[in-house]
Structure 1
Amino acid sequence: MPYHQEANPTGSLWVSALLALFPLLVLLSLLGVFRWKAHWAGVATFGVSLLIAVGVYGMPPLMAVDAGLYGAAQSVLIILWLTFNAIWIYNLTVHSGHFAVLRRAFSSVGEDIRIQAIVIAFSFGALLEALAGGGGPVAICSVMLIALGVRPLKAATLTLIANTAPVAFGGMGNPITVLGEVTGLPADQFGAMAGRQVSLLAIVVPFVLVFVADGRRGLRQAWPGALVGGVTFAVAQFVSSMLAYQLADIIAAIASALALLVLLRVWKPAGEPVTAASIAGGGGEIEEPTRERDSRSDVLRAFAPYVVIIAVFSLVRFDALRAVLDSIGTTFAWPGLDVVTASGAAVDTSYEFAIGSATGSLLLLSGLLSLPFLRVGPRDAVLVWGRTVRQFGWAILAILSVFALSYVMNMSGQIATLGAWLADTGPFFAFLSPIVGWFGVAITGTDAGANALFGKLQTTAAERIGADPVLLGAANSSGGVMAKMISPQNLAVGTAAVGLVGQEGVLFRRIFGWSLLLLLVVCTLVFLQSTPVLGWMVP
């Protein structure tokens, strides 16, 4: 028998919403207050979600567990396969000795670590987000910052904060495309609207990076670099989102990186260059890389894997090649999972094992193509891959458990309850709309996943309160990106990438405040866009 979701199982929407919210509160508390490791926090919260799904929503116990297994299976290709191969490429550079070359090459961008952080974590990270998405930018940019001498925890912090503004258009605009599919409205309109939200955020993010790297001194001395990098990115993203949202991040990333390189020809931060070693205060956060001259061929070989990544992900955007890759894999109905929404629509419970076109597979291909450049043999490549998987350790359980949690909440109806409760707040929902997306990304770990969960709810709520559905639909995506940095999946990816598995709670406390602050900025912006004050910004 199918399971029928009930949006208000207790008869009181406030009580139902509080119960539906409880697993998320437990998860955030275990990470941020009680400092649990991410894998144990994920497992415990998964258990809480099961209890609520069965005890409050009346979901059959075996089906609730099956929903968790379905979610865990979804994470294999979406997160694990992707991140394994992203870190494998980095580990290949270490094994071949090109890690040190890469470290010295990035130092040549300029000695100031604050500007290097903007170029790598913000600009180059946005380019990777545009092409690969998922946890790739967090994994790759973190280790690049480590290559400059940044200590692991600081590197992960900077990269997670930087991985915000480009997320709405990540994966060649996939979150916006999903938003158009689930709502039935033109994706181009959502892209243009999201560009008028996250582009303003892009101006702020480089300043946050400079502050995190070097505090108030960083803001005083390096603000021109943050301004040029942020404004250039914002303008390029704003304009390109109206023309071709799929290319918004690529254009913005390249534009901001070039603008910074041009700026550095005529300007340097005030005072002595702030190197990795000079901001190591408070226990030695950062250590300075050694100086050594490398040949041009060595430098090209060190950068080759990342050039190959860009080339591979650019080529697979051609429809003919994409069709071939999409044909490699299989799709089947997940057994034992038959769910119907409160409105009577069947929930899609198919499992798509798209191994050919999966981001992780494309990264694996990029790594294989990079082997000749790095001069690594097949046997060594396999051994390095095995060490990479072992490097993740408990982070694998963290990712599996959080995906299981998100699918139990979604399949049982807990997500629908939260959405209905927030949508019942009237005109003030325009302020709360980004928070819905924030919760969606906190649960699923992806902006596309949050749009799939809540996109239709946002546009329906907009019609009920007389707001523009394009505005609130885009707000779901724009607000969601603020949770990317604190989602347990990405915390696990970040700590695994820098070799600090088990330190997710420490990393969470470092960035949670920034997530809330930036979310508040987006909430205020969207609310003003729903009023005559900034209503002219709605396309």
Structure 2
Amino acid sequence: MYRQDLDPTGSLTASALLAAVPIVVLLVLLGGLRWKAQWAGLAGLVAALGVALFTYGMPLRQALDSAAFGAALSVLLVLWITFNAIWIYNLTVKTGHFAVLRRSFAAISDDQRVQAIVIAFSFGALIEALAGGGSPVAICAVMLVALGLDPMRAAAVALVADTAPVAFGGLGNPITILGTVTGLSPDDYGAMAGRQTPLLAVFVPFILVGIVGGWRGVRETWPAALTAGLTFSVCQFAFANYWSYKLTDIFAAIASAVAIVLLNRVWKPAAAGAPGAAGPAAPPVIAGGAVEDPAFTRRVGDPQGDSRADVIKAFAPYAIIVVVFSIAQIDAVKNWLTDHGVWTFDWPGLHIQTPSGKAANTVYTLNYLGATGSLLFLSGLLTLIVLRIGVLSAARTYAETIRQFGWAIITILCVFALSYVMNLSGQISTLGLWLAKAGTWFALLSPVVGWLGVAVTGTDAGANALFANLQVTAAKQVGESPILFGAANGSGGVMAKMISPQNLAIGTAAVGLVGQEGTLFRRVFGWSVLLLVVMCVLVWLQSTPVLDWMVV
């Protein structure tokens, strides 16, 4: 039995500095020294193990078992989701239906900056709402490459876009976890997050067109950016506060896309295109074809143009995802999936107590029927029927999808292993307690705690599971609303999605740039910090008489 000691050195500041070593190692090697993500992740894991063993006194067997537990969790929480999401995409590429989908998006606007908003921001938010787990980054990045953006820029756009919808991603799973962990109302958390993240939604489309086309792009396409951002923001606020936080992103995503379509009927950018764009003649690495790429060439339908049936089939896989996930949220269906498709067990060999003497949560939940990845796999099977794809061809495509990720798989396993060594040894809680010592100024740092959690775990839900109780405890100590600080944990965490190593690995793997995670990290790190500062100031103001009227 290992009992956590959150201040092993006798000085909380010293303990926190040591606890931060694995995160510093990971980020410095990745962003500063340009190490490949798999080696930076492995080095961070070694550092976490070293701190756990020599500072926190965690037994070697428990430390290694914690790493194995984290790695096993990543299989269901990230890999199973991402493999199936990209598998569905690859199926549409092989059949030529992705070419139809690409042309359909291009028909909305011939300007790549506007296309980036529709695909990365609106369509990406829909995928985040339904699946999460890095799938919107992977799918949207390859779609942008197919439309002509160079791979690195496409990956950066997809990562930055996957911010505003994350707090309500996976049908509100991060919000649900806040309620489950703290015992407070998830609806209140959803309403509070709906008074924070919509502010980000207004600015994100401007950042996207800036990445694609620079300041000139912002000047020439600001009406589209403003339309998408405001529409998404208003819908996110309205649904989170007055309807259902679980449906927030679905309707916000659809509404923003429709708004852009309507805008483009009466407005066009001053100058089409985007400086530095690759142009649609350059096939993306992911699709594999050097001469004739099915992502670009017409493989289905009439050569004179896509029929309505062609377009419906091209959108069918994503419509299937929407339907499958919507059905899975019906209470009767959800209860059946839980009763018949969940196997839980205590992870073998892990015996850990919190400082209060309670057993740490080391239960592995194998949700083999209702998990996001499983529902995506079912959607893929239905896609086979709709697109008339043979089983052998589908199996070969699945194998190719797994090979496509390569070293990214190792990165994800290492980073999840690192996060659970830090969590179960007590390192994460030490960092949180140290930040909580800021007193009333903790309101300014509350989003930073969530940001650190997502940077390590890669998921907003994971960060909420780690730090929700810490946020509530800190709120009570300084006399602030626990709903405010709990929501701030999730709202602050969304900005770290773009810099978390596993999402960087997913992004580079999707566009064929495995090994260039450090370059991508530097492309998006500044935006992550800038948006985090905005959220910190907002939460701090919400804790003061200036904006305390916004608190639930």
TM bucket by the smaller chain?
Answer: over 0.9
Equivalent position of 1:299 in the other structure:
311
Q: Secondary structure at the match of 1:502?
A: coil
Equivalent position of 2:523 in the other structure:
510
Equivalent position of 1:412 in the other structure:
425
CA distance in 1, matches of 2:538, 2:444: 8
Equivalent position of 2:544 in the other structure:
531
Q: Secondary structure at the match of 1:279?
A: coil
Q: Secondary structure at the match of 2:148?
A: coil
Equivalent position of 1:430 in the other structure:
443
CA distance in 2, matches of 1:90, 1:368: 13
| Residues 204-260 of structure 1: CA deviation (Å, up to 9, x unaligned) | 101100101100111111001101110111111111111221111112111111111
Q: Secondary structure at the match of 1:347?
A: coil
Equivalent position of 1:315 in the other structure:
327
CA distance in 1, matches of 2:193, 2:170: 15
Q: When the two structures are superposed, what TM-score results if normalisation uses the length of structure 2?
A: 0.94
| Residues 427-477 of structure 1: CA deviation (Å, up to 9, x unaligned) | 111000000000011111111111111011111101111111111111001
Equivalent position of 2:290 in the other structure:
none
Q: CA deviation at 1:290?
A: 7.3
1:393 aligns with 2:406: yes
CA distance in 1, matches of 2:135, 2:420: 23
> Does the 8 Å contact 2:182/2:468 carry over to 1?
yes
Moved more, 132-141 or 445-454: 132-141
Equivalent position of 1:266 in the other structure:
266
Moved more, 14-23 or 351-360: 351-360
- Correspondence list, 1:248-263, <5 A: 248-263=248-263
CA distance in 1, matches of 2:519, 2:398: 28
CA distance in 1, matches of 2:148, 2:281: 5
Q: Secondary structure at the match of 2:483?
A: helix
The code of the aligned residue for 2:78 comes to I
> Does the 8 Å contact 1:131/1:170 carry over to 2?
yes
CA distance in 1, matches of 2:200, 2:29: 29
Equivalent position of 2:285 in the other structure:
none
Q: 1:99 to 1:388 in 2, by over 3 A?
A: same
Q: CA deviation at 1:395?
A: 0.7
> Does the 8 Å contact 1:63/1:336 carry over to 2?
yes
Equivalent position of 2:456 in the other structure:
443
Equivalent position of 1:101 in the other structure:
100
Moved more, 291-300 or 261-270: 291-300
CA distance in 1, matches of 2:325, 2:317: 12
CA distance in 2, matches of 1:230, 1:371: 35
Q: CA deviation at 1:358?
A: 1.4
- Correspondence list, 1:43-442, <5 A: 43-243=42-242, 244-271=244-271, 273-274=272-273, 278-280=274-276, 284=278, 293-326=305-338, 327-442=340-455
Work out which of the residue numbers 476, 481, 484 in structure 2 matches 1:471.
484
Moved more, 301-310 or 450-459: 301-310
Q: Secondary structure at the match of 2:364?
A: strand
Q: When the two structures are superposed, what TM-score results if normalisation uses the length of structure 1?
A: 0.96
The code of the aligned residue for 1:312 comes to V
Q: 1:222 to 1:287 in 2, by over 3 A?
A: farther
Q: CA deviation at 1:299?
A: 2.1
CA RMSD of aligned residues (A): 1.4
Q: CA deviation at 1:41?
A: 0.7
CA distance in 1, matches of 2:35, 2:398: 29
Equivalent position of 2:22 in the other structure:
23
> Does the 8 Å contact 1:154/1:285 carry over to 2?
no
CA distance in 1, matches of 2:506, 2:192: 30
Q: 1:378 to 1:158 in 2, by over 3 A?
A: same
CA distance in 2, matches of 1:280, 1:467: 48
Q: CA deviation at 1:300?
A: 1.9
CA distance in 1, matches of 2:276, 2:386: 34
> Does the 8 Å contact 2:128/2:169 carry over to 1?
yes
Q: CA deviation at 1:148?
A: 1.4
Q: 1:285 to 1:526 in 2, by over 3 A?
A: farther
Q: CA deviation at 1:147?
A: 2.5
Moved more, 200-209 or 236-245: 236-245
Moved more, 134-143 or 56-65: 134-143
CA distance in 2, matches of 1:127, 1:508: 24
CA distance in 2, matches of 1:428, 1:20: 22
CA distance in 2, matches of 1:530, 1:11: 31
Q: CA deviation at 1:303?
A: 1.6
Equivalent position of 2:501 in the other structure:
488
> Does the 8 Å contact 2:96/2:297 carry over to 1?
no
| Residues 404-449 of structure 1: CA deviation (Å, up to 9, x unaligned) | 0000000000011001100011111100000000001111111111
Q: 1:97 to 1:28 in 2, by over 3 A?
A: same
CA distance in 1, matches of 2:262, 2:306: 23
> Does the 8 Å contact 1:438/1:482 carry over to 2?
yes
| Residues 49-85 of structure 1: CA deviation (Å, up to 9, x unaligned) | 0010000000001110000000000001111111111
CA distance in 2, matches of 1:22, 1:364: 38
CA distance in 2, matches of 1:202, 1:527: 19
The 4+ residue runs of structure 1 with deviation greater than 6 A are 288-292
Q: 1:342 to 1:286 in 2, by over 3 A?
A: farther
Extract unaligned runs of 5+ from structure 1: none
Q: CA deviation at 1:133?
A: 1.6
| Residues 174-204 of structure 1: CA deviation (Å, up to 9, x unaligned) | 1111111111211111111111100011101
| Residues 461-509 of structure 1: CA deviation (Å, up to 9, x unaligned) | 0111111111111100100000011111111111122222211111111
| Residues 357-413 of structure 1: CA deviation (Å, up to 9, x unaligned) | 111111111111111332311110001101111111111100000000000000000
The code of the aligned residue for 1:119 comes to V
> Does the 8 Å contact 2:213/2:276 carry over to 1?
no
Q: 1:285 to 1:21 in 2, by over 3 A?
A: farther
CA distance in 1, matches of 2:196, 2:279: 34
CA distance in 2, matches of 1:507, 1:87: 20
> Does the 8 Å contact 2:146/2:280 carry over to 1?
no
Extract unaligned runs of 5+ from structure 2: 283-295
Moved more, 328-337 or 20-29: 328-337
